[in-house]
Amino acid sequence: MKVLAFVLIFLTMNAASASEFSVQCEGRSPVGPYFATFDTNSKAVVFETAPPIAGSMDGSNVLSGEIRKSDTRADGQVDFTLRIQGGELSLSYDGQRKRMTWPGINGSDPFRPTLTHVCIDMPPRSILSFRSNVAVLHPISVRCAEAGYMYFTMDPRSKRALFERDHGSVYQGEVTAAHGDDIDVLMKWDTPGQVAWNRSNQTITLEAIDGSGAKSPKTLKCEETAPRTMLEYYKRLR
C-alpha cells in the first residue's frame, strides 16, 4: 500500500508539473525580482513580489489573475491579466525569449513606457516560498480530513512550515526537528502547538504547549499529497 501511495503522489506531481510552472523576473531597482506562477490548464496566475528585507512584510504583494488566451500558444507566449485595486493589469510572458513585458500607456509615453524584464523558468513556487527570493525546492505537504480538509506544508531544510484550512486562516510554523522521514513543527496558532508528522504511519499528532495539560494529544489520519504551490493563493484571492 505504501508503494501504491508513493506512485499516486508521483503521478499527481508529474501531472501538475506538465501544466504548472513559475518564472522569476528581474525588475529594475528598487523593485527587484518578482515571480509569476501559471497553470496553463486552469488558466490561473499568481503574481508575487518579495520584500527587500527577508522576513519583512513591507514591499511584498500577491495578486491573482487569468491567462487570457483560450489555448496555449505554440510560440510559448502567455498573455495574462491581473486583478489590482481599481482595475486590471495586463502583462505578457515570452516563453521563448524569457522576457516579461509590461505594456506602456501609449508606447511613447515617457511616464509609462513599455518595460521588458529578463526572466528564468523554474518549477512551480512552493507556498512556503512566499515573501522570499530563495525558493523552497523539496517541501512536503500533508492533507488531513478534519472538519473539511486542512493542510500542513513543511520543509526541514529551510525550517519553514505552513498550516492551511479550506476557506480558512493560514498560519506559519517552524520545523524544530527532523528524524528521518518524521518531522516536528512548532505551529504559531493563536495558542501555539506542537505538530508531529509520522510518514510511515501517515499520521499528524497535535499537542498544545501551553503547559496546562488541559488537552490530550490528538492524532489524525492523514495522507501525503502533491506539494502545495503559490497557486493556492489564486483561490484565496478570487
Residue 131: inside a domain: no
Cis peptide leading into residue 30 (ω within 30°): yes
Section 60-89 average pLDDT:
84
Spatial distance between the Cα atoms of 105 and 114, rounded to a whole number of angstroms = 8
Residues making up the chain, counted from first to last: 238
| Structural domains of the chain, count | 2
Mean residue pLDDT of the chain comes to: 84
Q: Are 96 and 78 in contact (CB under 8 A)?
A: no
Q: Phi and psi of 188, rounded to 5°?
A: -95, 60
Residue 74 has pLDDT above 90, yes or no: no
Beta bridge partners, 65, equal 45, 82
Q: Could you tell me if 28 and 115 lie in one domain?
A: yes
Residue 8 has pLDDT above 60, yes or no: no
Q: Could you tell me if 30 and 102 lie in one domain?
A: yes
Burial class (CB in 10 A: 0-12, 13-18, 19+), 228: buried
The most confident of the ranges 85-89, 92-96, 104-108 is 92-96
pTM of the model: 0.83
Residue 60: inside a domain: yes
Q: What is the pLDDT of residue 105?
A: 63
Question: Which stretch of DSSP H or E encloses residue 7?
Answer: helix 2-19
> Domain boundary residue among 101, 125, 149?
125
Q: Are 194 and 200 in contact (CB under 8 A)?
A: no
Q: What is the pLDDT of residue 131?
A: 86
Q: Which of 122, 103, 124 is nearest to 25 (CA)?
A: 122
